[in-house]
Amino acid sequence: MQHANLLKPPTARQRARFGPDFGQRVLLTIDTEEEFDWNADFSRDGYGLDHLRRLSKFQQFCEGIGAKPVYLVDWPVARSAMAREIIGSAVAAGKAEVGVQLHPWVNPPFEEELGQHTSFVGNLAPELEREKFRRLRDEIESNFGATPLIYRAGRYGLGPNTARILSECGMAIDSSVRSRFDYGYAGGPDYRRHPVAPYWTDDQRNLLELPLTTVYWGMFRKQGEALFPLTLRFPKLTGLCSRLGLLERISLTPEGVSRAEALKGIDIALDDGLPVLVLSFHSPSLAPGYTPYVRTEDDLDDFYDWLRAIYAYLGQRGVQSTTVAEIIDSVVV
C-alpha cells in the first residue's frame, strides 16, 4: 500500500468526494489537552487539568446549538477521571465523539530529548512516533469505551511516516493539516500549499485528510497563496491589507478571530463549495487564564457568543452539523 508523505501537498486526483445527500456540513473539533505555559520550555510535568470541570457546561451548550463535538484527547486528559466521566458519558449517549491528539512531550514512552524539534511528533523516529500513538489510542479506547477514528497531531506536527502509522493503527481520518500556515520557523511542517478541501492520503482510500478550515478573503484572495506569505514579512502590511479589504487569512476558530471575520470566512468557504467546514479550538480556552484568548469571564462569555452566532449563521446558510461517523459513511470510496 502506498502512503503519501503528508508534508507534501496532494494531487488534484486525491480530492475526496461526498454522496449527493451530504451537502455542506460543519464539524466542531476541540483539542482537549492539559493546561501549560505556551511560552515556556516543554516539560513532562507541571501541567494542570483544572479547566476540565468546565466541559460539562460546554457539552450542554453544544447540545443546545445542535453540535456533536469531537474531543481530540491527549495523554493527560485520557487518564483524567473527570474527563472520562464527562466526555465518556456524552460519547456513550451519542452526543459527542472522541479522537486522538498527541502531545509527545507528555505522552510515553519518553525516549526523546525534550525540545522544540521533538515537540512535533512527526520529527521523531517512526518507531517512537508509532509507540506513542499506539499507547494513547489504546488508553482512549479503554477509558472512554469507544474506538477513536480521527487523529490530530499536537502542534499540527505531521511527519513523513504519519500516514502509514495511522493507517496501520486503524485510523480513518487525520485532521492535522492546518492549511495556509507554516511552522517551519520552529522545525515543524509547512502547509502553505495544502488545500482546504478533504483528500485521500493513499491509493486505497483508507485514510482521509480533513484539514482545518482557513480561507483567504479580499480582493486578492485568489492570489493569497503567493501574496500572503510576503505580507507576513511586514506585520504592518498584513494589517493594512486586511483593513483595505485586499487580503486576509481567516481561520474558523473563536481563538483570535472575530465574529465578523469568521462570518466572512464562512461565506468564502461555502461559496467555494467546501463540503466540510472544520472548526477548532483548545479546551483550556473554556476557562479564564489558560490561553491568550480567554483571560476573563467576560472573554469566556464572548467565546460562547462567538460559537452561538456562528452556528446560528450556519443554520441560516443551510449547513448542518456533522460527525466523524457521518463523514466516514458519506465519503465516496
Residue of 164, 162, 231 lying closest to 192 (CA atoms): 231
Average per-residue pLDDT for the chain: 96
- pLDDT, average across residues 86-95: 98
**pLDDT tens-digit series, residues 247-279:** 999 999 999 999 999 999 999 999 999 999 999
The residue among 159 and 1 whose pLDDT is bigger is: 159
- Global pTM reads 0.96
**pLDDT tens-digit series, residues 276-295:** 999 999 999 999 999 999 99
pLDDT at 197 over 80: yes
The set of residues, in sequence order, having a beta carbon less than 8 Å from that of 110 and lying 6+ positions away, is 44
- Is there a contact between 160 and 8 (Cβ–Cβ < 8 Å)? no
pLDDT at 51 over 80: yes
Q: The cell 467546514 sits on which residue?
A: 277
pLDDT at 317 over 70: yes
pLDDT at 102 over 70: yes
**pLDDT tens-digit series, residues 20-43:** 999 999 999 999 999 999 999 999
| pLDDT value for 222 | 87
**pLDDT tens-digit series, residues 204-238:** 999 999 999 999 998 888 887 888 887 777 877 88
Cβ-based neighbour number of residue 130 at 10 Å = 18
Reported confidence tier of residue 9, pLDDT bands at 50, 70, 90: very high
Is the preceding omega at residue 109 within 30 degrees of 0, hence cis?
yes
Of 38-42, 129-133, 152-156, 237-241, the least confident:
237-241
Cβ-based neighbour number of residue 134 at 10 Å = 13
pLDDT at 1 over 80: no
Residue type at position 224:
G
- pLDDT, average across residues 298-306: 98
- Is there a contact between 69 and 62 (Cβ–Cβ < 8 Å)? yes
